[in-house]
Amino acid sequence: MYELIQVSGNSYYIQSPAKIGLIKVSDAEVCLIDSGNDKDAGKKVRRILEENGWTLKAIFNTHSHADHIGGNKYLQTQTGCEIYAPGIEQYFTCAPVLEPAFLYGACPAKELRHKFLMAQESDAKPLTETVLPEGWQIIPLPGHSFDMIGVRTPDDVVYLADCLSSKDTIDKYKIGFIYDVGAYLETLKAVKEMKAKMFVPSHAAPAEDIAQLAQYNIDKVLEVADKIVELCEEPVSFEELLKKLFEEYELVMTFEQHALVGSTVRSYLTWLKECGRITSQIDDNVMVYRHN
């Protein structure tokens, strides 16, 4: 873990729970794509920089989930590097309490205020094409998060952030986190058609061809959607539906999983309503869902 691996030319990644991209922009300077999940990850990244005699110029965050921005604060404090994040993700990076608050839909309970959901604050600036090193390209990858992006480097290496997961991860967790199901499916379809020398997803092995894995992710999203429609054969409240899904997929309910999976299921319900596959109504002061 935290091994530096060269992908092609000046494009590397650091093997970690969420892969950290590292790109040399000169003999002495590097930039990171994301920073790992916490201060300890930041320390390990800094050790790699020191061992190679590199100066950290900037961190480009793909999105604001804690396992991607957790090393920001430490690395920025220690090196003075700039930090950039795209769109809404910038605000979440500067004020990480927004993440558990968004998931909970209110002031977040203490069970959600921990480093896996709420990173330390860091001073992030807007990520636009104008601040990128020469030859870099931003790739919009919305769906998993609000304004998530990927990056294509001059070596034709594409860092895909969290837009897809490995088969093992999907089979283990069953219902992966999604903010916008419709946008996520469109992103996966676009990624399926992409060509590059190498793709580096954060939660899957690097690959020259990503199409098969993208299709697997698509199939699993549609499978969950079909299961939700099936469970809405009779009017069902959100809590009843969530319970049935946990039982169907043999998941274990915790406070955190209620928030994470619950947020995703609400996103599925929004998309299924917009597609005309389910309807919602208030029945005796309870919101219930039913398929059409």
The per-residue pLDDT for 224 is 98
Q: Does domain 231-291 have CATH number 1.10.10.10?
A: yes
pLDDT on residue 282: 98
Band of residue 200 on the pLDDT scale cut at 50, 70, 90: very high
Residue 126's pLDDT is 98
Look at residue 44 in the predicted model and tell me its pLDDT: 98
Residue 127: which of 72, 88, 73, 79 has the closest Cα?
Answer: 88
Where does the chain show beta strands of DSSP type E? 4-8, 11-14, 20-24, 29-33, 55-60, 82-85, 124-126, 137-140, 149-152, 157-165, 198-203, 236-237, 278-283, 286-291
How confident is the model at residue 127, as a pLDDT? 98
Tell me the residue type at 15.
Q
pLDDT tens digits for range 74-89: 999 999 999 999 999 9
List, in order, residues 6 or more apart from 146 with CB less than 8 Å away.
63, 87, 88, 89, 92, 179, 180
Q: Which CATH number fits domain 1-134: 3.60.15.10, 1.20.120.450, 3.40.50.1100, 3.40.50.300?
A: 3.60.15.10
Q: What is the pLDDT of the chain when averaged over all its residues?
A: 98
In the numeric block, the tokens 């993208």 are attached to 214
Q: For residues 86-111, b (16+ Cβ closer than 10 Å) or e, as one string?
A: bbbbbebbbebbbbbbbbbeeebeee
Tell me the pLDDT tens digit for each residue of 217-237: 999 999 999 999 999 999 999
Confidence of residue 187 (pLDDT cuts 50, 70, 90): very high
pLDDT at position 31 is 98
Is this model's pTM higher than 0.85 or not?
yes
Q: List Cβ neighbours of 153 (8 Å cut-off, separation of 6 or more).
A: 9, 10, 11, 23, 135, 136, 159
Kindly list the domain boundaries of the chain, sorted by start residue: 1-134, 231-291
**Dihedral sign computed on CA atoms, order 122, 73, 64, 101:** negative
Predicted confidence at residue 256, as pLDDT, reads: 97
Mean pLDDT along residues 244-270? 98
One fold for 1-134 and 231-291:
no
Which of the four pLDDT bands, split at 50, 70 and 90, describes residue 204?
very high
Across the range 147-161, mean pLDDT stands at 98
pLDDT tens per residue, range 106-137: 999 999 999 999 999 999 999 999 999 999 99
Confidence of residue 289 (pLDDT cuts 50, 70, 90): very high
Mean pLDDT for 143-159 is 98
Q: What is the pLDDT of residue 19?
A: 98
pLDDT band at 158 (very low <50, low <70, confident <90, very high): very high
